[in-house]
């Protein structure tokens, strides 16, 4: 993702539809309908394009095996839409 860990922390409550989050230094855990999701992140080296510097964050989603493919896709679709940044 093109954001910092602090920026992602600000977005997570909305991106997860207000699900209670258990914060970790490197991520957050949450209980979804039917199971749990562990979200882990790692700060990557910033991408530099000319004079522009873009932060980068690698995210890993670890869904509980009890959460089905359809529910995962639904969660990810909403998460992606919520965390998109506008361009122009």
14-56 tens-digit pLDDT:
999 999 999 999 999 999 988 999 999 999 999 999 999 999 9
Confidence of residue 88 (pLDDT cuts 50, 70, 90): very low
What domains sit in the chain, N to C, each tagged with a CATH number? 5-83 (3.30.1370)
Gap between the Cα atoms of 71 and 39, Å rounded: 16
Report CA-CA distances (Å) from 28 to 46, 51, 86.
Answer: 22, 33, 25
Gap between the Cα atoms of 41 and 14, Å rounded: 18
Gap between the Cα atoms of 54 and 5, Å rounded: 13
Confidence of residue 84 (pLDDT cuts 50, 70, 90): confident
54-81 tens-digit pLDDT:
999 999 999 999 999 999 999 999 999 9
Residue 36's beta-bridge partner residues? 31
């Amino acid at each position: 993702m093109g954001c910092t860990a602090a920026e992602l922390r600000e977005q997570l409550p909305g991106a997860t539809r207000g699900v209670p989050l258990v914060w970790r230094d490197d991520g957050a855990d949450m209980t979804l309908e039917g199971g749990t999701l562990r979200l882990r992140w790692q700060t990557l080296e910033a991408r530099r394009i000319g004079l522009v510097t873009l932060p980068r964050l690698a995210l890993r989603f670890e869904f509980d095996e009890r959460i089905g493919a359809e529910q995962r896709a639904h969660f990810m679709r909403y998460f992606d839409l919520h965390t998109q940044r506008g361009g122009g």
